[in-house]
Every structure is written in C-alpha cells, then in structure tokens.
C-alpha cells in the first residue's frame, strides 16, 4: 500500500513554485500510507506525487516511474500479480529500470494506449501522465480494493488522491473514483473497463465443481504471496481466515520472503478478554503450526481509538468503524514485530453468502443477487477498513490481500459461476476446500 496524489492541468503555470509547495503539503497528508519514500514530479502545471511503502523490490522501486526518455510518468498504489509475465512480453522492446511490479503499466500504455487496464491482474490505483501530448489517465482496480478519489479545482484542474483528506481543502468538488473504471483526459470523463458477466446478476448455469472452486481459491491466495518483506496472516479461527492461513502455510516455502526471512508463518489475532475468536484462533494456529501472536484490548482502548479510526477510514458508518477498531489496534502491535504485510480472510462472506441472513434467502435468484450486491459494495465498507485502518504512520502494518483473496476479479468469475449451484447442498464439512484445513473449530464457526 502506498499513497498517490496528482494535480493535472493547473491553469496558471507562472505560479508553479507555489503550486508545487501545495502539492507537497497535500501529499504529506498521505505519508502514513507510505513512510519509506516520497517522490514528486512536475511538468509545467502538472504534478504527480507518491508516498511509498516498499513491499516489492524495496531497494529499486521508488516512484514516480518513467519510460526510457522520461516522457511518460506514472504513480501507482498497487500490486500487479502478473508483472513477471508482462515483463517477458516486452523483452527487447522496453528497458525496465526498477524491480517494481507497477512499472509494467508504462510499456502497456505505450503499446496499447489506454486500452490495457484489463491486462493487469492485481489490485491498483494509478495516475499516468504523457508529456508528449499532455494527456493523462487514471484507473482503479475492478473491485476497488485500493482507494482512489477524484476532485476538480476552481481553475479547471483535475486532482487525484488515495484519501479524501488530501483533496477536501483545495477542490470545489470531489468524489469517489468508481472501481473498475478509468478516467481519460482525452475523453474528459470516465469509462468502465471491467464488465464481467456476473454484473448482469443472472443466476449462473455452469455446473458446480468444488474442485475448480478449490483451485480458484488456492490460486488467488498463492499469487498474493508476492512480496520481498516479512509477512503474516490475520487469523480469527473462522473458516475464511483459517483456509487462507492454511494455503499460505503450505506455499510459504516457495516465496521470495521465505528465502530471506525463513519459512515460519506468523499469525495474529485480537480480541477482548474471553473472546471466542482468541480460543478458536489458538486452536487453528496449533493445528497449522504457526508462530501465533494473541493481542488483547479493552472496551476503553476501543473507545479511545475511535477518533483515529474515523480519521483513517474516512467514514462514519457504524459497522465499518466497529469492525475497524480492533483491527487498527492489532496493526500497531504487528508493526512493532517488524511485519509489513499481512493476509486476511475477510470478504469471502460477501462473495459466498457467509452471513447468517443468507440462510433466509427465498430462492437462488435472490441469493445470487445479494452476493453480487455485496461484492459490488465492498469498496464502500470492507475495503475501507482493510486498506486504511492499518495504515497509520505509527502502524505501518500494511494489509495486502484486503479481504479474502477471492473477491478480486481474477477469481470472482470462477466463484460466482461455480459456487451457487452447490450452495444449498454442499455442507462446509464435506466441501473439498475444507481439506485445506480440517481443524474442527474452523469448520463450525459462522459469520453474523
């Protein structure tokens, strides 16, 4: 996770120094998102800045990123899981100067123009500026895992930021940048780049195959182990986080991080004294053999943290703040252990109908419609606390997978098409996914 900020098309270039100072001031409001490096780029009345948290290629991935002659520049907050494959595609055509996974955005743009975003497999928010024709574009990932906002200045300039707090004092209007969209200065507006079949909200007819479901889930977890820094897993003892932890434990030895920091997996849980999560997480951790860390907090600790949680989440939604507060407190503890990235199992309840009220769905059509609605709304609730309430500058424990690995667009198509037919008849004890983690407590716990 990083913080990006951009101001494009400032009208009065004679005030460029004052404008640059203001850009730097606004960008600093995002420093809690990226304490490892700050970079800024200026071309006439156009500015791009980034606050970096180094997760992939810590030594060479500083931003902004450029093409060979520095005529195309990009700032990005994201993880591009297929970046190695894309790099091979441009062997001999493009000279990569960093190890950043986000650098592949540049050659894709030069090769395909603005029609490349659907070639990126990952979670991202980026702004790209082309000095040759003075055009720019911005895009956000399919589900809206990584935050992005857009605003308009009184002089006609367009502003982009990872958080609203960088826009509210300078823009006459600002709003959420919609997931699955790109903004083009050439077209002077948005267009949707992500148009999956499940958006139609029609009940899928593809036969249910639990083995394909398992493969899609495992693939989604494994590709998110792309990191060069120490990481761990959040473990509540429920089914979703337990399965993520199990797959992570199995594949940890294959990661770059394991080669540098060892093959022991650290797991983390937080709860009030006597919380059932603490007991369940301990049982799963013992079963998997993780190095387990258990953090306790009091009601007063939570009350004391609410103001900060609201500041970082940028919402007053009661459910979001309530769920964010213990995660915020836990992230501080994780930071103190030197862990920069954690995986989580959240989000699967939305995708797979894991909440108890789904049991009362009158029919499969309404069940499917509700799962689609919940997935589409993830960016307004769950993604906020996943991507923001763990990014305090005193925390720095960045969360990488942001919910369950499944809600990302590479797996959504598989899961929504394959899961529904078996949802009524497939008990979680008999589902092949449960073979990944057969700890009894994990299979018996439900979400509310």
Catalytic residues: 2
Whether omega before 64 lies within 30 degrees of 0, making that bond cis, reads yes
Cβ–Cβ < 8 Å for 433, 245: no
Establish whether 391 is an annotated binding residue: no
Establish whether 345 is an annotated binding residue: yes
19/44 Cα distance (integer angstroms):
10
Establish whether 392 is an annotated binding residue: no
CA-based end-to-end distance of the chain: 29
101/58 Cα distance (integer angstroms):
11
Which helix (H) or strand (E) segment holds residue 191: the answer is: strand 189-192
Cβ–Cβ < 8 Å for 270, 297: yes
Cβ–Cβ < 8 Å for 416, 204: yes
How many angstroms from the chain centroid is the CA of residue 74? 19
Q: 105 is written with which tokens? A: 């955005």
Task: Tell which residue, 179, 196, 252, 203, has the closest CA to residue 402.
Answer: 179
Cβ–Cβ < 8 Å for 63, 25: no
Establish whether 270 is an annotated binding residue: yes
What DSSP assignment string belongs to 352-395? HT-BGGGGG-SSHHHHHHHHHHHHHTGGGTHHHHHHHTT--TTT
Cβ–Cβ < 8 Å for 180, 193: yes
Establish whether 265 is an annotated binding residue: no
Cα distances from 77 to residues 61, 64, 147, 165, 294, in angstroms, run 12, 11, 9, 17, 30
Burial class (CB in 10 A: 0-12, 13-18, 19+), 421: middle
Q: Which residues are annotated as a binding site for ATP?
A: 234, 270, 344-345
Q: Which residues are annotated as a binding site for L-glutamine?
A: 101
């Amino acid at each position: 996770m990083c913080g990006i900020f951009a101001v494009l098309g400032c009208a009065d270039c004679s005030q460029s120094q004052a404008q640059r100072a203001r850009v730097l001031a606004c960008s600093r409001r995002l420093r809690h998102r990226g304490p490892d490096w700050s970079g800024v780029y200026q071309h006439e009345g156009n500015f791009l800045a980034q606050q970096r948290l180094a997760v992939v290629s810590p030594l060479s991935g500083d931003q902004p990123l450029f093409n060979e002659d520095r005529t195309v520049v990009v700032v990005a907050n994201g993880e591009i899981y297929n970046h190695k494959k894309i790099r091979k595609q441009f062997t001999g055509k493009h000279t990569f100067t960093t190890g950043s996974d986000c650098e592949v955005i540049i050659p894709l743009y030069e090769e395909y123009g603005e029609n490349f975003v659907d070639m990126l497999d990952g979670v991202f928010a980026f702004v790209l500026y082309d000095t040759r024709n003075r055009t720019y574009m911005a895009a956000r990932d399919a589900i809206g895992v990584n935050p992005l906002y857009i605003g308009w200045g009184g002089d006609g300039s367009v502003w982009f930021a990872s958080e609203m707090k960088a826009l509210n004092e300078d823009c006459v209007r600002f709003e959420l940048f919609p997931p699955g969209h790109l903004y083009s200065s050439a077209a002077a507006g948005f267009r949707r780049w992500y148009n999956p079949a499940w958006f139609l909200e029609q009940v899928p007819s593809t036969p249910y195959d639990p083995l394909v479901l398992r493969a899609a889930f495992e693939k989604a977890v494994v590709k998110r182990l792309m990191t060069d820094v120490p990481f761990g897993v959040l473990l509540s003892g429920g089914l979703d986080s337990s399965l993520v932890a199990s797959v992570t434990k199995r594949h940890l030895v294959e990661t770059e991080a394991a080669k540098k920091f060892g093959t022991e997996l650290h797991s983390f849980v937080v709860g009030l004294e006597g919380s059932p999560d603490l007991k369940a997480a301990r049982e799963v951790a013992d079963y998997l053999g993780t190095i387990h860390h258990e953090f306790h907090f009091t009601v007063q600790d939570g009350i004391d943290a609410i103001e900060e949680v609201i500041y970082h989440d940028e919402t007053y939604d009661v459910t979001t703040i309530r769920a964010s507060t213990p995660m915020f407190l836990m992230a501080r503890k994780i930071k103190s252990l030197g862990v920069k990235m954690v995986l989580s199992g959240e989000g699967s309840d939305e995708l797979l109908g894991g909440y108890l009220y789904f049991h009362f769905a009158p029919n499969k059509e309404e069940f499917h419609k509700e799962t689609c609605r919940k997935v589409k709304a993830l960016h307004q609730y769950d993604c906020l606390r996943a991507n923001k309430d763990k990014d305090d500058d005193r925390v720095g424990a960045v969360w990488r997978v942001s919910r369950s690995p499944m809600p990302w667009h590479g797996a959504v198509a598989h899961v929504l098409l394959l899961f529904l037919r078996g949802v009524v008849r497939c008990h979680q004890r008999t589902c092949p996914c449960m073979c990944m983690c057969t700890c009894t407590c994990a299979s018996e716990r439900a979400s509310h």
